[in-house]
Amino acid sequence: MRFACLLALLAFATPLFAADDKDGPVYTDPSMADEDFQLQGEYRGYFRPTSSPRSSINVALQVIALGDGQFRASKYYGGLPGEGWFGGERYEIPGERSGDILRIHDTRYEIEIQNGEGVVIDSDGREAGHFTRVERISPTMGAPAPKGAIVLFDGTDNGSFKDAKLTEEGFLMAGTETTQAFGDFRLHGEFRLPYKPKALGQARGNSGVYLQGRYEVQVLDSFGLEGVENECGALYRTKRPDFNMCLPPLQWQTYDIDFSPAKFDESGNKVRNMQISVWHNGQLIHNAASIPNKTGAGKPEGPEALITKIQDHGNPVVYRNIWLIDRSGPDSVGNNWLRLPVKAPPVPIRFGP
């Protein structure tokens, strides 16, 4: 009996570290992560192509750990995605760690990063720029459910998700679905991706939010990547985000979704596509987008409302603070949600301590 109870307990626990023969190590706790983890992340800074301070250019880096001391950095002129860069050219630069120093090799420069600070050195040995590591926090992080909202998950199993499994910390594990179907709604949710430095592509922290079981908003560790149709924030295989707002793994992130289902006439003919706006970490990445059909493995479109799923794709992605405003209900009238109207300008991400 004791052994059976122990097995049941372990089945509901998320490991801090787990080995995966195919995709390498999996970390769900920063304190247990490898040496590369402390160097991975976002860096804000400047670059001076000449010795004059007037030549300073705002530049940002997203540094991605690839395992065994290997890295790749994405460089952005103007600032980080959603902060000064909203699409355009993105430059990839290789790097490697030696001890506690990360060296990134640009075409004409080398960037040395240590203890959260980076120095740009040109071919003459001149200091030509500086970077500082930052940790951004979504402006809607921790947003409380407004009046009239339906709380789906607040750290306890309130019956809103079928067969819900919780971690020891009280986070909702992927692989569940709502017990109630919703039609026209606004949804807030927060998620955290595992750190899988050696995994690639769809194996790197894969999950998804399946609206009505038909349309998947992809959840994936796409930090520092291009942001294509199968990466984080995309309507899976259908529409890529306007720009990639994925933060580093093991940082909490937010989705705020304004969903209006496809409309059908009395004969069952579709008269309007599904429409959706998505804010990823407070930034508008889909603006009233018209989606012509189901996405990926979603259920066929139809006039009936269906349940919403949180996809389990074999990765320890966890969720928290999930609530929904049913716009077909009277309590939603006049509710301005999170002060994020559909055509809102970009919302600045605040910085952590």
**Opening angle at CA 88, ends 85 and 91, nearest 5:** 90
- Indicate the domain borders of the chain: 33-134, 150-351
Of 3-12, 32-41, 102-111, 243-252, the least confident: 3-12
CATH number belonging to domain 150-351: 2.60.120.560
Report the amino acid identity of residue 298. Answer: G
Of 88-97, 143-152, 174-183, the least confident: 143-152
- pLDDT-derived band at 330 (thresholds 50, 70, 90) equals low
What is the model's pTM? 0.90
C-alpha 307 chain-centroid distance: 22
Distance CA 286, CA 47 (A): 32
Nearest to 105 by CA among 147, 153, 73, 143: 73
Tokens of 325: 């405003």
Question: Any idea which fold 33-134 has?
Answer: Lipocalin (2.40.128)
Distance CA 196, CA 220 (A): 11
CB atoms within 10 A of CB 109: 17
Distance CA 311, CA 189 (A): 14
Report the amino acid identity of residue 238. Answer: T
Q: What local confidence, expressed as pLDDT, does residue 325 receive?
A: 93
Report the amino acid identity of residue 47. Answer: F
Distance CA 207, CA 216 (A): 9
Q: What local confidence, expressed as pLDDT, does residue 12 receive?
A: 41
Distance CA 197, CA 351 (A): 24
Report the amino acid identity of residue 299. Answer: K
